[in-house]
Amino acid sequence: MTTFKDRKTDASAGTFTIAQVLEILAGGRLPVRFTAYDGSSAGPPDAPLGLDLLTPRGTHYLATGRGDLGLARAYIAGDLDLRGVHPGDPYELLKALSESLVFTRPPARLMVDIIRSIGIRQLRPIEPPPEEAEPRWRRVAGGLRHSKTRDADAIHHHYDVSNRFYEWVLGSSMTYTCACYPSGDASLDEAQENKYRLVFEKLRLRPGDRLLDVGCGWGGMVRYAARRGVRATGVTLSIEQTAWAQRAVAEDGLSDLAEVRFGDYRDVTETGFDAISSIGLLEHIGVRKYSSYFRFLQDRLRPGGLLLNHCITRPENQTEPATRGFIDRYVFPDGELTGSGRIISEAQDTGLEVLHEENLRQHYALTLRDWGANLVEHWDEAVAEVGLPTAKVWGLYMAGSRLGFERNGIQLHQVLMTKPHEGGAAGDLPLRPWWTP
């Protein structure tokens, strides 16, 4: 591997090429080939993976974006190319970078030479790509964080991209949450069907029962339950999801049992539900809202009713819950993650009894693998539908998330709870888990 010390530099002048600057910051450990518009290069010449910095604007983005945000901006804007991977699934490149690339701050004197080489103008922030959401402090104009108005804007940013685009990425199940693979060779559709089966069984649903599915997406859980005789109501803040789900309910002949509404879950007035499913919604709620969220859902349940919460979590409970960088600006504005312990504590403190919880993080890594393969397969159609920058965002986001789940940087937990009967009676719940894993 080539290191900075192996290269000849104009040390007396204190100036470096762009590639030399990168080598210095990376401590000479570049796992991929890097080339820059000034003609410089670094890293193993025969490396199968690489980064090509094409424009001075790309240097602006890399120099001014914190963490992963600078690289994402340069890539999405077209100022940085990835070599050796498909843009729909850059997993292998991200994996190589995350395994070997560690940036360190050089000594002050050397830092002065780096700034001189780059140019002070390159350190002034410039307008980000139009696909980027505003920083959190500017979003206050749209309402307080996790108010109904601001939540609606955040959901629109991510979910109202294009139903056709989602059909290509998600497959026929149109399910945008972690699947549950019954075996390593199961297909994505089989795994999503198995996930709905698992939720259905955990909630002990029977024909004639009433189910509320909050954050119902394209209505997958609603339709699964209705096909088994359950009266199911779903609610989503996405206009595109609502239209697709309502059409699917009608086409499946389920209109007498299934309903999908456009609106905020907090607008549901009915009570006495036998079960509630919340699959992939808590990430958008906000940690400070957990108490009111669980209290609201508990009030919608009958005594002895069951609630299943399925959401992405952190592997611990101490990190600041707010997401930042690329994910916050391009994927989930205002999204917040915390550990499963915090979620369970909040649920218990509202009076819910926690019956069971499990971590499905490895299943989410497989889900993202299959979504990435779908995007690669339908790349040309996806780019024509949503544009190249948005398609790049999705490839980058899914590949990076896959790495996060594989390495236990993030997890996926299902927590099963019940609204206790008066006096704490357990009702007719079996003594041991009643579902098939």
User: How many Cα atoms are found within 13 Å in the side-chain-facing hemisphere of 163?
Assistant: 16
Q: How sure is the predictor about 65, in pLDDT bands with cuts at 50, 70 and 90? A: confident
**Average pLDDT of the residues of the chain:** 90
**Which residues face 278 on adjacent strands?**
214, 309
Q: Would you call 29 helix, strand, or coil by DSSP? A: coil
pLDDT of 5 > 50? The answer is no
- Residue 53 neighbours by CB distance under 10 Å: 23
What does CATH list as the number for 148-424?
Answer: 3.40.50.150
Residue 183 makes CB contacts below 8 A (sequence gap 6+) with none
Q: How far apart are the first and last CA of the chain?
A: 47
- Rounded to a whole number of angstroms, the CA Rg of the chain reads 24
Choose between 235 and 66: higher pLDDT: 235
pLDDT band at 160; cut points 50, 70, 90:
low
**Residue 115 burial (C-beta neighbours within 10 Å; 0-12, 13-18, 19+):** middle
Per-residue pLDDT, 141: 56
- The per-residue pLDDT for 10 is 46
Whether the per-residue pLDDT at 156 is higher than 60: the answer is no
pLDDT band at 6 (very low <50, low <70, confident <90, very high): very low
Whether the per-residue pLDDT at 159 is higher than 60: the answer is no
Percent of the chain with pLDDT over 70: 91
pLDDT one-digit tens code per residue, 18-31: 999 988 888 878 89
Task: Assess contact for 258 and 219: CB atoms under 8 A.
Answer: yes
Whole-angstrom distance, CA of residue 330 vs CA of residue 324: 10
Task: Identify which has the larger pLDDT, 382 or 11.
Answer: 382
| Whole-angstrom distance, CA of residue 428 vs CA of residue 258 | 27
* Chain region(s) in the chain for CATH 3.40.50.150: 148-424
The closest of 275, 255, 307, 296 to 210, measured between CA atoms, is 275
